[in-house]
Chain A
């Protein structure tokens, strides 16, 4: 539901990084999206393409990498993937766990074309 705002933030970062690198064109943008972030990939791509119009990112592809929800148990030091909202340690059953991934909303890499291309 908030994909437009997120796409705006992505575009801001992409354009400023691309400008700094003297890019002529942005070819690809990789973003990491945690399963808990509540972001719909199709909707994010739609908003991204909309905002990219008339910028150097106009024909850029958006590659969305989904990150699973993972937990860490401080009792038994195990790390595990959380599925179907089972927010407890799969080894010892402890419920006081730390989330170590799943909330990501991060830009990974940009692929650009610069003056040398």
Chain B
């Protein structure tokens, strides 16, 4: 019998491709968001509102990740933004190779912002880096206030949290304060936005945060040559 000391990260091949994606995005000056939530939290609707707010000033692209169907991509297409659909065929998350292969449909020289809508799931997408600049979580108040502590990794790794459907708060027993308190204890640097994508509230603060992020990345990319 012989022992081999391997000491290798299991996800190292995903990390390597994520690194390649990230280098490419930086070279092209594209800011990339990895949008994550459970199914039905309102990712696609937030995306549609975000497109409406930004499409006159920025060139956007969208990658839609779903286990099956192109319903979400069809909704985005209606806004006149380049979009491609990845169907994972059962896998519960997107990985960096799927993103790399999906990029050919975009003219990367033109894009300012690429939004990747991950598969609806609060566990697995957090583990797989795609080469993004920021992970952003959407949590709807109808899901309940216990989610940050039940899914700590995703809250810990996200740069921003959009608490959506706040117009429904009076109809739930969910405490917004508790969500904010727990999410902040997991991740003190988290930027938090309270939105309703149907009542169009809270979206300006979200838009301002995104514009600031995009601007900062562009400045960094220009400085790097």
Proximity bits, B121-152, A CB within 8 Å = 1, else 0: 10110110000000000000000000001001
Q: How far is the CA of A18 from the CA of B14 in the complex (A)?
A: 21
How many chain A residues touch the partner (CB < 8 A)?
A: 37
Tell me how many residue pairs across A and B have CB atoms closer than 8 Å.
98
Q: Are B152 and A36 in contact (CB under 8 A)?
A: yes
Summarize B's interface: helix, strand, loop or mixed: mixed
Q: How far is the CA of A111 from the CA of B5 in the complex (A)?
A: 9
Q: How large is the interface on B (under 10, 10 to 19, 20 to 34, 35 or more residues)?
A: 20 to 34
Interface residue? B115 (CB, 8 A): no
Q: How far is the CB of A40 from chain B (nearest CB, A)?
A: 10
List residues of chain A with CB within 8 A of the CB of B189. Answer: 96
Task: Give the contacting residue for A2; candidates B8, B9, B124, B149; CB below 8 A.
Answer: B124
Q: How far is the CA of A60 from the CA of B49 in the complex (A)?
A: 52
Q: Are A95 and B4 in contact (CB under 8 A)?
A: no
Q: Are A9 and B10 in contact (CB under 8 A)?
A: yes
Q: Are B149 and A105 in contact (CB under 8 A)?
A: no
List residues of chain B with CB within 8 A of the CB of A87. Answer: 152, 156, 185-187
Interface residue? B165 (CB, 8 A): no
Q: Are A96 and B188 in contact (CB under 8 A)?
A: yes
